[in-house]
């Protein structure tokens, strides 16, 4: 892996209110898990998008991870195929919701 992932959102948004959660988010999840080298970043992005989709999470966290997927090489064609495939397993309404967000992230390119 070339570039290390560094996240500060936990500390910035919850550091005072929930310091342990901020630590787990920034240091463990993003600091260790995202930087573990067995999977490349593109694969981790795909897994994360599908996991959030399966859970029905279609808020700003999914938008962030779709943007992250695009930044790490997931193409419009790939994300469309990923969402279509996952929809068959996680549900049609979830697919529609994720396509709406993905269309915003990838635009009409």
Domain spans of the chain, in order of start: 1-38, 41-106
**What superfamily in CATH does domain 41-106 come from?**
AhpD-like (1.20.1290.10)
Q: What is the structure's pLDDT at 13? A: 85
In this structure, what token pair is assigned to residue 6? Answer: 């560094």
Q: Is the distance from CB of 37 to CB of 44 less than 8 angstroms?
A: no
- Flag whether pLDDT at 59 surpasses 70: yes
Q: Higher model confidence: residue 31 or residue 75?
A: 75
Q: What is the structure's pLDDT at 70? A: 98
The neighbour count for residue 5, using CB atoms within 10 Å, is 16
- Flag whether pLDDT at 1 surpasses 80: no
Q: Measured at the alpha carbon of residue 90, what is the angle toward residues 94 and 42, in degrees to the nearest 5?
A: 85
In this structure, what token pair is assigned to residue 3? Answer: 């570039």
- Flag whether pLDDT at 68 surpasses 90: yes
State the average pLDDT for the chain. Answer: 92
* Mean pLDDT, rounded, for 74-79: 98
Q: What is the structure's pLDDT at 40? A: 96
In this structure, what token pair is assigned to residue 1? Answer: 């892996």
Q: Is the distance from CB of 29 to CB of 45 less than 8 angstroms?
A: no
CA pseudo-torsion sign 91, 93, 96, 100: negative
């Amino acid at each position: 892996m070339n570039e290390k992932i560094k996240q500060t959102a936990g500390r910035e948004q919850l550091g005072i209110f929930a310091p342990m959660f901020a630590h787990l988010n920034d240091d463990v999840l993003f600091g260790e898990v995202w930087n573990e080298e067995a999977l490349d970043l593109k694969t981790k992005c795909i897994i994360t998008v599908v996991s959030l989709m399966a859970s029905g999470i279609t808020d700003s966290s999914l938008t962030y991870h779709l943007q992250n997927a695009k930044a790490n090489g997931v193409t419009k064609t790939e994300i469309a195929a990923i969402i279509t495939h996952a929809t068959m397993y996680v549900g049609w309404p979830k697919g529609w919701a994720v396509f709406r967000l993905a269309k915003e992230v990838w635009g009409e390119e």
